[in-house]
C-alpha cells in the first residue's frame, strides 16, 4: 500500500488535519477513578507528547507508576470518562504510554526515565500474562472483544519488545498477528459473523482489530499483515459504515494507508473534527495514527 505514488502527499495532508485536533485536549479530570479504577484517558500522555505539550506528561502517568511499583497494577480496572469498561482499554493505555516513552525518553530526567521504564516493564509483564492466543480456523464475532484485546496487547508487546530488547515479546506479537492474518475470512473480515450477531458490534471489533493490525504492520514492516490490512479496509469500503459502529477514529491510519479507503478516513476524521472536545480515546487514536503516518517521513 505504501508504494502508491501520492502517499507522501496524503501523509502530509492527513497529518496537517490531525495535528490541530490534538491541540484541543483539555485538562484531564480523574472523575471516574477510585482506589483501583483508572481512566484510560491517562493514555493522553501520547497526544500531549505528539502535540509537543509536555506540561501534563508526568502527571498523567504518575498514578500508573505508583500502582506498578506498589504491585497493585494487576488490580486496576480500566474505565473511560463515562465509567464504561472495555477490555481493549488496558493494552491501549499501556501502548500509548510506551509510544510516549519511546518519543520522549531522551528528554526525561534520569530519575523520571528510571521510574517510567521500571513501571512500563511491570505493566507489560502483566499484559504478557493475560495475552489470549488466537486459535482455530476462525474467530467468531461473539469473541470479537477478546480478539481486539489480544491484538492490542500484541501491539503493545511489540513496541515494548523493541524498546526493552525482549525478543519473547516481539515473538508473541509476530505470532499473534500472523494468526490473525491466517484466520482472515475471504471477504476480508477478521471475525466470522453469524445471522445472530449485531453487525454494528461486529464492525466495532473489526475496526479495533484492523487498527492494531495496521499499526503493527507498519512498525514491524510485516508485508503479510499489511496485505491482510488492505483486504480488511476493502471490506469496510464495500460493506460497512464505520461511523455507525463508533464515533471514535478506530482504523483511521489503515484507511489512510489504502488510497481506495480514504473516503472512509475522511468520514472518520470529519466526525472527530466536528467535536468541540474530542474524548480521550479519540485523542489517543488520533495521536497513534499520526505516529504511524510520521514513520513514512
Chain centroid to CA 32:
22
Q: Is residue 54 part of a domain?
A: yes
The pLDDT of residue 24 is above 80: no
Please check whether residue 211 is in contact with residue 250, taking contact to mean a CB–CB distance below 8 angstroms: yes
Q: Is residue 71 part of a domain?
A: yes
**To 5 degrees, how large is the angle CA 279–CA 280–CA 285?**
105
- Per-residue pLDDT of 214-265, as tens digits, reads 999 999 999 999 999 999 999 999 998 887 788 899 999 999 999 999 999 9
Domain count of the fold of the chain: 1
Q: Is residue 102 part of a domain?
A: yes
> What is the chain written as a DSSP string?
-TT-TTHHHHHHHHHHHHHHHHTT------TT--SSEEEGGGGGHHHHHHTT--TTHHHHHHHHHHHHHTT-GGGPEEE-TTS-B-TTHHHHHHHHHHHHHHHHGGGS-HHHHHHHHHHHHHHHHHHHHHPPPP-SS--BGGGHHHHHHHHHHHHHHHHHHHHHT-HHHHHHHHHHHHHHHHH--TTS-SSB--TTS-HHHHHHHHHHHHHHHHHHHHHHT-HHHHHHHHHHHHHHHHH--HHHH-SS-TTHHHHHHSGGGHHHHHHHHHHHHT-SS--HHHHHHHHHHHHHHHTT-
Q: What is the CATH number of the domain that holds 137?
A: 1.50.10.10
State the chain's mean pLDDT as an integer: 93
Tell me what pLDDT residue 55 has: 64
Tell me what pLDDT residue 241 has: 83
Tell me what pLDDT residue 2 has: 43
> CA–CA separation, 94 vs 156, rounded Å?
7
Tell me what pLDDT residue 60 has: 93
Please check whether residue 184 is in contact with residue 231, taking contact to mean a CB–CB distance below 8 angstroms: yes
> CA–CA separation, 203 vs 239, rounded Å?
10
Tell me what pLDDT residue 5 has: 53
Tell me what pLDDT residue 54 has: 67
Q: Is residue 170 part of a domain?
A: yes
Where residue 47 falls among pLDDT bands split at 50, 70, 90? very high
**To 5 degrees, how large is the angle CA 256–CA 258–CA 264?**
55
The pLDDT of residue 177 is above 90: yes
- Per-residue pLDDT of 98-128, as tens digits, reads 999 999 988 889 999 999 999 999 999 999 9
Dihedral of the alpha carbons of 49, 113, 280, 294, in degrees to the nearest 10: 40
Q: Is residue 89 part of a domain?
A: yes
Range of the domain at 24: 7-294
Tell me what pLDDT residue 56 has: 75
The pLDDT of residue 1 is above 60: no
Q: Which residue has the higher pLDDT, 26 or 171?
A: 171
Q: Is residue 1 part of a domain?
A: no
Where residue 132 falls among pLDDT bands split at 50, 70, 90? confident
Q: Is residue 51 part of a domain?
A: yes
The pLDDT of residue 63 is above 70: yes
Q: Is residue 2 part of a domain?
A: no
Tell me what pLDDT residue 168 has: 97
CA neighbor of 155 nearest in space, from 256, 225, 74, 85: 225
Amino acid at each position: 500500500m505504501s508504494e502508491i505514488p501520492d502517499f507522501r502527499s496524503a501523509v502530509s495532508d492527513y497529518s496537517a488535519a490531525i495535528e490541530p485536533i490534538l491541540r484541543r485536549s483539555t485538562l484531564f479530570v480523574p472523575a471516574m477513578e477510585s482506589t483501583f479504577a483508572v481512566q484510560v484517558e491517562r493514555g493522553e500522555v501520547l497526544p500531549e507528547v505528539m502535540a509537543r505539550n509536555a506540561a501534563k506528561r508526568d502527571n498523567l502517568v504518575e498514578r500508573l507508576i505508583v500502582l506498578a511499583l506498589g504491585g497493585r497494577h494487576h488490580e486496576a480496572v480500566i474505565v473511560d470518562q463515562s465509567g464504561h469498561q472495555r477490555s481493549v482499554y488496558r493494552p491501549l493505555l499501556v501502548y500509548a504510554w510506551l509510544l510516549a516513552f519511546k518519543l520522549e525518553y531522551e528528554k526525561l530526567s534520569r530519575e523520571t526515565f528510571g521510574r517510567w521504564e521500571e513501571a512500563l516493564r511491570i505493566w507489560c509483564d502483566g499484559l504478557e500474562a493475560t495475552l489470549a492466543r488466537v486459535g482455530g480456523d476462525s474467530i467468531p464475532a461473539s469473541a470479537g472483544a477478546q480478539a481486539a484485546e489480544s491484538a492490542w496487547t500484541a501491539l503493545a508487546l511489540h513496541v515494548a519488545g523493541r524498546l526493552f530488547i525482549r525478543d519473547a515479546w516481539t515473538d508473541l506479537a509476530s505470532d499473534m498477528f500472523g494468526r490473525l492474518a491466517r484466520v482472515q475470512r475471504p471477504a476480508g473480515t477478521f471475525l466470522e459473523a453469524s445471522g445472530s450477531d449485531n453487525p454494528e458490534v461486529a464492525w466495532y471489533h473489526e475496526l479495533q482489530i484492523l487498527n492494531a493490525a495496521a499499526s503493527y504492520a507498519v512498525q514491524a514492516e510485516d508485508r503479510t499483515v499489511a496485505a491482510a490490512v488492505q483486504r480488511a479496509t476493502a471490506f469496510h469500503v464495500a460493506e460497512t459504515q464505520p461511523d455507525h459502529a463508533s464515533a471514535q477514529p478506530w482504523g483511521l491510519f489503515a484507511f489512510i494507508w489504502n488510497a481506495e479507503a480514504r473516503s472512509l478516513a475522511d468520514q472518520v476524521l470529519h466526525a472527530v473534527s466536528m467535536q468541540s472536545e474530542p474524548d480521550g480515546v479519540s485523542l489517543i487514536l488520533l495521536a497513534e495514527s499520526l505516529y504511524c503516518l510520521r514513520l513514512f517521513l
